[in-house]
Structure 1
Amino acid sequence: MASPLSPARAGSPASDSAPIGTGAVERDPFFDNAKYLAIVLVAVGHSWEPLPDSGRVVEALYTFVYAFHMPVFIVIAGYFSRGFDLSPKRVWRLFTGVLVPYATFEVAYTLFHRAVEDPGFPLTPTDPYWILWFLPALFLWRITTPFWQLVRWPVPLALAVAALASMSTGVGDDLQLMRVLQFLPFFVLGLRLRPEHFAYLRRAWVRVAALPVLLVALLVAYWSVPRVSTSWLFRSYSARELEEPVWTGAAMTLLMFAAALVLGACFLAWVPRRRLWMTALGAGTLYGYLLHGFLIRGARYLGGYEDPFFETQAGRIAVTLAAALLVTALCTPPVRRALRYVVEPRMGWALRAGGGTGPGSPTYAQPSEKNS
């Protein structure tokens, strides 16, 4: 996955609550709230993965959540990338906000894995560690934004790219390119959305209709558990790799896109629009995203899931609540202040003298531009 919002920081995952380049300084609570709720779903979903004999109910919930939580994050990231261009200002922010944290956490997770699981675990920068795939994906999506802003039918074209990838056997593993291509339509869709599209979800009838739709989706997820592989939802594999007919790749691409679109809209319809206790946490979702993996993988590798308690319903509920509370804590201002230099590095020292003083160029290290 995953952080979009206010005074624009074009390099942070989903990190701006106003479109890049607008000069706006007010964050929109709706998007901060949406990001916080989405990152809770991400962490909860990851916490369910190591559960022993999780049962059909948890598997159904897992399928339901995975059908839309990352698409929602990616759509919002695309929405706040609408003003991205290849100017030095934007490219520098993209480098410091995405590639530098990716390199830092790739090393950190590798060392962590060596310490708790496998001393010989290799450092592979072109093969992102678990959750880190989102950062190089965001870099590739954003760097191609000018192209998607130029073509006439960007979303259908991106869907065609995703469908072809799902039917292909030639997409390599570097940077989890299969995932990058299959999730691409959601980013491009975000580029095409406007404020009025999100405003439409505020209508009372949309919110009322969302409830039965979500209920039906849960029932479909429960039905699908023994019948359809959840591996489709990861978008990491082609149809052939999943031992399915090639044509099913295109069919599943379109089906999952439609399902994510509907469920994502239902989710967003119920996201609060006003400022709440969770709003401030929405600005720190990048921290929650990057850090929660240490806790979940640590618990898994150190045997935390082996207690028979976690085979019970009470144990599964406890894991769910613990994941939600932990990722919430990781999004708080104290964590952000302590780790800002790692997650959002200010690298003005790396610029050559006068490199950021041209017309329209920013003072790159200004705190006001570092808001996610």
Structure 2
Amino acid sequence: MNKPSVVFVNNLKFVLICFVVVANSIEPLIGKSVGLHMLYQGIYTFHIPMFVFAMGLLAKEFKLEHRGLRVLTIIAWQYVLFQTAYSLLDTTYFHAPNVVYSFFMPYSLLWFLCSHFCWRILLVPFLRLKHPLLPAILLGIAVGYMPWSGAILSLSRTFVYFPFFLAGYYCRIDRKLFVRLRKWRLFSTALAALWFLALAIFRSWLPSPWLYGNATYLEMGVSQWYSGLYRLALYSVQAVVSIAFLSWIPWTLKSWTGWGKRTVYVFLLHGLLLKTIIASGFYQGLETPLHMSLAFLLAAALIILLSIGKVERFTRPMFEPSLRLPKGLRMHGKSVWK
């Protein structure tokens, strides 16, 4: 199906997964390079909000009925499967610092699965509200005042990024959106460029946890009553940079558009491969800019390798198995990520 809306969403997903892999590939090097640190924080300004936005686009038909329960079951299955795999590999090979082995503390990028499950559930009560986006934003600000860790069950990220999920759910992919994005392209891109410039000049003033969304204000060392205003300001920046990003996503069919249908396999598998490569010591010898450029080649190789059809055919039975609900209804069919 090559409808403009479907093409746009597939293009969006593929470009986003490229930024995800690039950001994760250069992360071990950001302490060695000002340029990579700026690029890393620049990507984090929009790539999580936009991936959450894309998940909202794909949730338009979600209801708590047979198909909706299948979606939730598959997401939960993927979380349990990969949380187990990551934990076992970490104890035997990765040995990453400060890891808590618990299903209540998502390992690395698996927070996205935990939050995706919750975003779908949150749709049910929020869709009953007349103006759901405003209370979602207020909750995203308020969650930072929690007295306990924001990483537990990805609670902080769930509420911090839920406004972007709602925005995706309510966004209509049509010609009018294309015209609006083109209209604001130059202005939003100019503002985004200013943000990247600010990150390059004042790289120490924005701690990365603000962009991760995984910590409370107290955990980030900001305990004032007005700390939520910082998140509100960051929401504004993320919205502008995200609009700039969306304005450059092509609406026409490209040679790589079909790869946007397989982003789940890239997402779920690239972390395992990257963790293995990091544990092997590959990054320890990357000191010069020329050597650091190998991180980009590594990212490109992972994207191409994991986007091929054979990976989907081989892993889909394991990642999205056919399941049965209590009534004996067989759960199979379209991927929950498409």
The match for 2:216 is 238
Q: Deviations over 1:29-49 (max 9, x none)?
A: 111111111111111111111
2:139 aligned with 1:154:
no
Q: Is the 8 A contact 1:288 1:331 kept in 2?
A: yes
* 2: CA distance, partners of 1:228 / 1:133: 22
**Could you tell which deviates more after superposition, 26-35 or 276-285?**
26-35
Change (3 A) 1:198 1:70: farther
CA 322–164 in structure 1, closer or farther in 2 if over 3 Å, else same: same
Q: Would you say 1:351 and 2:307 are equivalent positions?
A: no
Q: Is the 8 A contact 2:7 2:253 kept in 1?
A: yes
Listed one character per residue, the Cα deviations across residues 144-184 of structure 1 (whole Å, up to 9, x for unaligned) are 21211111221110111111111232455421211212112
User: What is residue 110 of structure 1 aligned with on the other side?
Assistant: 87
Residue number in structure 2 paired with 1:301: 279
CA distance in structure 2 between the partners assigned to 1:57 and 1:247 by the alignment: 34
- Root-mean-square deviation (CA, aligned residues, Å) is 2.5
Out of 294, 319, 331, which is 1:364 matched to? 331
| Distance (whole Å) between structure 2 residues aligned to residue 108 and residue 115 of structure 1 | 11
**More helix, by proportion:** 2
Distance 1:154 1:199 in 2: 24
Alignment size in residue pairs: 336
TM-score under structure 1 length normalisation: 0.83
Moved more, 169-178 or 123-132: 169-178
Contiguous gaps of at least 5 residues in structure 1: 1-5, 7-16, 18-24, 357-362
* Residue 199 (str. 1) matches residue 173 (str. 2): no
Deviations 1:16-69 (A, max 9, x none): x9xxxxxxx997111111111111111111111112742211111111100000
Q: Describe the shift of the 1:230–1:171 C-alpha distance in structure 2 as closer, same or farther (beyond 3 A).
A: closer
Q: Using a 3 Å threshold, how does the CA distance of structure 1 residues 231 and 290 change in structure 2: closer, same or farther?
A: same
Give the secondary-structure state (helix, strand or coil) at the position aligned to 1:68: helix
The reply to whether residue 319 of structure 1 matches residue 298 of structure 2 is no
Residue 89 (structure 1) shift: 2.5
Asked if the contact 1:238–1:249 (Cα under 8 Å) also holds between the matched residues in 2, the reply is no
Q: What's the counterpart of residue 95 of structure 1?
A: 73
Offset of residue 237 of structure 1: 1.0
Q: Which residue of 2 aligns with 1:266?
A: 244
Letter in 2 for 1:112: L
Preserved CA contact (<8 Å) 1:52 1:306: no
Paired residue for 2:195?
A: 217
